Amino acid sequence: MRLVLLLCGLTAATLFAKDPLEKRIAHTDPSKYRKAKSVHAGAGELHYTGLFDAQTFSTNVIFLHRGVLPPGGGIGHHFHNHMEEMFVIFDNEAQFTMDGRTSVLQGPAGAPCRMGHSHAIYNPTGKPTEWMNIAVGTIKGKYDATDLGDDRVGVAMDAKPVFINMRLDKALLKPVEAMLGGKGVVRYRRALQPEVFYTNWSYVDHLVIPPGASLGNHRHEGVEEFFYVMNGEGSVRVDKETATIRKGDAVPVFFNEAHEFSNNSGADLEIMVVGVARAKWALDTTPVPAPR
């Protein structure tokens, strides 16, 4: 129980909308990772820290955790009955389990675990796997878990996964010119649709902004988002504030905040976008243009 509370409550900082943009942006810092053993009765260790917690957003985001699965490390088989999670890996590979069925996913990839279902993850390789966990609940701040005492080591494998998963593969992206009024051609894909989730979790998008291009200024009336920088660097503008962002940064955007992203560097800016709605079927997934 103590470990569950730590997993739910650990965060790099408590963030509020009134904070300046630069303070709201969470930074991935491996020096701040804590070592947790036998998470949900899993194998080995998990090294992680919290980037956002249940106080960060008005919506029911419970946390955003970032860390690594060391070789032989994982998170044991467990259920969530009032919330949903998604494990994401950014490199290497891992064995993902959903409802007792296990397959290998090659990073970057992820698999959502919907309410009432079980999941686990294990790194059988000799290299660390860069990992993230996102949690969204039905009740604000409510975390629940039931462990099954199963570390999933040495289990039978399915050659093809029989569960929902996503690939954050740049080859799957489609070009979009002047997206939301931005400059140049970006590459974009909706990796997970609203129908995937039971909670108010709305979508996961994958976006690449090439050098000199931008995602135009827009806002959402019914959805909050966070933008996680997978690779590269650039800048973000939220309302009247601008900040530099780089790999490992997570940018929270709240209701009705006008936001845009620009890439003035010499390499691609790659971003994963997570949207969570105010209400499930009042999904405001269409951005509202915002004046500059």
Q: By percentage, how much of the chain surpasses pLDDT 70?
A: 90
Q: What is the pLDDT of residue 287?
A: 56
Q: What is the pLDDT of residue 289?
A: 52
Q: What is the pLDDT of residue 286?
A: 54
Cβ atoms of residues 14 and 55 within 8 Å: yes
Place of tokens 């490199």: 91
Alpha carbon separation from 26 to 23, 145, 208 (Å, rounded): 8, 26, 20
Examine the pLDDT at 18 and tell me if it is beyond 70. Answer: no
What is the per-residue pLDDT across 200-224, written as a single tens digit (0 to 9) for each? 999 999 999 999 999 999 999 999 9
Examine the pLDDT at 1 and tell me if it is beyond 50. Answer: no
Q: In whole angstroms, give the CA distance from residue 48 to residue 67.
A: 4
280 pLDDT band (50/70/90 cuts)?
Answer: confident
Dihedral sign for Cα atoms in the order 201, 202, 205, 211: negative
Q: In the beta sheet, which residues pair with residue 228?
A: 250, 272
What is the per-residue pLDDT across 77-102, written as a single tens digit (0 to 9) for each? 999 999 999 999 999 999 999 999 99
Domains along the chain?
2-167 (2.60.120.10), 170-289 (2.60.120.10)
Q: Which residues of 186-201 are buried (b: 16+ CB within 10 A; e: fewer)?
A: bbbbebbebebbbbbb
Examine the pLDDT at 163 and tell me if it is beyond 70. Answer: yes
112 pLDDT band (50/70/90 cuts)?
Answer: very high
Averaged pLDDT of the chain: 92
What is the per-residue pLDDT across 132-155, written as a single tens digit (0 to 9) for each? 999 999 999 999 999 999 999 999
Q: By percentage, how much of the chain surpasses pLDDT 90?
A: 89
Query: Which residues have CB under 8 Å from 80's CB, separation 6+?
Result: 113, 115, 116, 117, 144, 145
- The residue with greater pLDDT, 15 or 121, is 121
- Secondary-structure breakdown of the chain: helix, strand, coil percentages, each rounded to the nearest 5: 10, 50, 40
290 pLDDT band (50/70/90 cuts)?
Answer: low
